[in-house]
Structure 1
Amino acid sequence: MSPERYARISEILATRQPHLTVYLEQVLKPHNISAIIRTADAIGIHQVHAVWPTTRIRTLVYSAAGSNIKTHHTISDAVNHLKTQGMQVLATHLSFRAVDFREVDYTRQTCVLLGQEKTGMTVEALALADKDIIIPMIGMVQSLNVSVASAFILYEAQRQRQIAGLYQRDRSMLDEEEQQRLLFEGGYPVLANVAKRKGLPRLHIDDRGQVVAETKWWAAMQATVRQ
């Protein structure tokens, strides 16, 4: 890995926001899912959570986003998992108790729930949320496309977190194991893919961005490459 690439990946790791995330409940259209994941990555969200409507959608998403997506079997599994981490859970839903999305404190640990394009959030999901949020509308329409809505909300979260200094850090909020995984997969994608196929352990990346491996690891790797 070149020094420039190592510096870039390290910079990205330092700005990851593990305490901010989105949860997709049965979002159906691949282009919406891709747009949401792209926006999430752009503002430093480390992992997106989801329950998928079909296995096909799940397969398409995993092929594009891989380990940045955490799949749950049910909405209760997902929300309870997030709440055990101390997250406030916000549902994008028009209701009598809903507040303007800009009035929320996103410097707190936060998960934004996004519902299916046609039917929105399920009753179960809404019951589990701590608060409903809306994007004010003054035109004829009552809602935005789910990927557009997510962009508005997530960039408001980024704005608040930037003001609070949550992006200005000397070190990553991710644990060391996760940082090492991302350094290896991002800095040495070919080695990472072959190692995964071969069942070899992930290598350590030193503070210069270089891999640290024993001779027998390289021997096993070379044997894999020749196959």
Structure 2
Amino acid sequence: MTPERYAKIRRVLSLRQPTLTVLMDEVNKPHNFSAILRTCDAVGVLEAHAVPPENGGVPTFEATSGSAHKWVGVQTHSDAVSAVRALQARGFQVLATHLSDASVDYRAPDYTKPTCVLLGAEKWGVSGEAAAVADANIVIPMLGMVQSLNVSVAAATILFEAQRQRLSAGLYAQPQLAAGALERLAFEWAYPELAPLYRERGEPYPELGAGGEVLS
């Protein structure tokens, strides 16, 4: 661990937005799943959520993610409706990418609120049941012959609008993570091989110096 690497880790963690996330409902193509995680990392999402496809687990495609899977955790859920309700219980507004009579332009919502963007599978999109329990349905205006964007492109479009609003509101100007959480993640990111050993032994992580060196 070099001081420069550790400084970057702390800088990135200070910009993480624990109140911005995505829920991927059975996104089954690995390159799309990984591209969404890459965008999540770029805008400061701390943790993503996913409902795995019925025919397998969470897809991975490291070449597309650009190692983003190392920096963005993924919490899995059994189904989209229960996942939406769980996130709402935590105070998140859930915005489903879904075309309906009640849909609004994706730029209309206030993304400075705790927000989850619900993204559907490539072929079927967000289910009617999940869209119905979401707080709002959002759409990206399309002026061409096709009706929708690739799911990873749609995710990037929406998440960078969220980033724009949050930058304007100053949410990246000061850490959104609690101090204890930031310190914990700084050790886990700096020492991914050591962190599991401490957890297995039930021991607290050691203190790190200003340059990322282990002090105790």
Instruction: Give the TM-score range, shorter chain.
Output: 0.7 to 0.9
Letter of the 1:119 counterpart:
W
Give the Å deviation of 1:142. Answer: 0.4
Structure 2 residue aligned with 1:91? 96
Give the Å deviation of 1:202. Answer: 4.8
- Name whichever structure is richer in helix by fraction: 1
Give the Å deviation of 1:73. Answer: 1.5
Structure 2 residue aligned with 1:190? 193
Secondary structure of 2:56's partner?
helix
How many Å separate the matches in 2 of 1:136 and 1:61? 29
Structure 2 residue aligned with 1:14? 14
Give the Å deviation of 1:36. Answer: 0.2
Which of 200, 203, 206 matches 2:205? 203
Structure 2 residue aligned with 1:173? 176
8 Å contact from structure 2 (residues 198, 205) kept in 1: no
Cα offsets for 1:50-93 (capped at 9, x unmatched): 1111463326479x726700011222331122112211110001
In the alignment, structure 1 segments of 5+ residues that lack a partner are 214-227
8 Å contact from structure 2 (residues 29, 59) kept in 1: no
Letter of the 1:166 counterpart:
L
Structure-2 change in CA distance of 1:139 and 1:59 (3 Å): closer
Secondary structure of 2:107's partner?
helix
Which of 167, 179, 184 matches 1:162? 167
Structure-2 change in CA distance of 1:39 and 1:99 (3 Å): same
User: Which stretches of structure 1, 4 residues or longer, exceed 6 Å deviation after superposition?
Assistant: none
Secondary structure of 1:56's partner?
coil
User: In the comparison of the two structures, how many residue pairs are matched?
Assistant: 209
Secondary structure of 1:97's partner?
coil
Cα offsets for 1:8-48 (capped at 9, x unmatched): 11111110000010000111101000000000011000000
Structure-2 change in CA distance of 1:59 and 1:126 (3 Å): closer
Structure 1 residue aligned with 2:24? 24
User: Percent sequence identity over matched residues?
Assistant: 50
> Given the two structures, how large is their TM-score scaled by the length of structure 2?
0.87
How many Å separate the matches in 2 of 1:110 and 1:136? 20
In the alignment, structure 2 segments of 5+ residues that lack a partner are none
